[in-house]
Structures are given as structure tokens and as C-alpha cells.
Amino acid sequence: MIIARIAVAILLVNILFFPAVLGQTILDKKTYKQQELYCLAKNIYFEARGEPLLGKIAVAQVTINRMIYKHMTLCDVVYQKNQFSWTNTKKRILDKKQWEYSIYIAKAVLEGRLYIKEFKALYFHSVNIKPNWRYKKLYLKTIGKHKFYM
């Protein structure tokens, strides 16, 4: 029941906020493996679990943008050394609803059903921290509790 409600909410967000991008795929119709889906879902879950839908989509897109930019697999991007802090520790998925939601969002992003038009960000950080690398990147926008850069 909760998944059905989430699906309806996502569809409404698409229609209301992203009408021009419905049906466009980020990966040029590239098929993805279940392992890639789970890597992206884990990144959404651990990096954006408390974020609004738009924040979760933005984190997913950064991951995909890096995959395209660096010519790597999604899992290679997620587990690249020192890129996403959660990969440096043994994190466990504790919130089943948020995990299912993360999988749903990852799938929708991979299939091109959810994304932010012309969002080219490659980096982000929490608004609560101030990494030194931020001075070397082009600031794009703040979404939720994350700042995004190119």
C-alpha cells in the first residue's frame, strides 16, 4: 500500500514539476543490472534518506553524472575511495520503508521517469560541513540539506 502511495506521489510530482522531461532517459535507454540498481539505491538511502524527493533525485543524478563523466559503472562510482562517506564504514539498512523508497526512486531515475532537467552536478556535500574542495568547484544550487557543484 505504501509503495502505491509513493508511486502516485512521484507521478504527481513529475506531472506538476517536470512535465517537459517525462519519458526522457538519462542513460540513453541503457539497460542496468540489479547490482547497479542496488548500488544507486544504497547511495540514495545513506546520503539522502531524510531529504525530500527532489533531494533524493539530485543525489541519484550526481551518481549517474559521475558514471557518465568518468566512464565507470554505477557501483564503481559509489564505492570509489573517499567519494561517499557511508562507504568508509559498515552501514546497515535499518529503515525498511526508506530502503524500499530508495529502490523505487533509483529505478525511476535509471529508467528516466524521474530526474531534474539539465542538472549537471558532479559533487555535493551537506550544508552542515564545509569541505575545502568546494572552492575549486562551481556552485549550482542547494536542494534540501545538500549543496551541489559542478
Q: What is the pLDDT of residue 23?
A: 38
Where are the extended beta strands (E) located within 4-138? 123-126
User: Per-residue pLDDT averaged across 115-136, rounded?
Assistant: 95
pLDDT for 134: 96
Contact 131, 32 (CB under 8 A): no
Q: How does DSSP classify residue 72?
A: -
What is the DSSP-derived secondary structure letter of residue 126?
A: E
38 pLDDT exceeds 90? yes
Task: Map out the domains of the chain with their CATH numbers.
Answer: 32-120 (1.10.10)
Query: What confidence tier does 17 reach under pLDDT thresholds 50, 70, 90?
Result: very low
Per-residue pLDDT, 66: 95
Give the relative orientation of helices 53-70 and 96-110 as an angle to the nearest 10 degrees: 50
d(CA 49, CA 47): 6
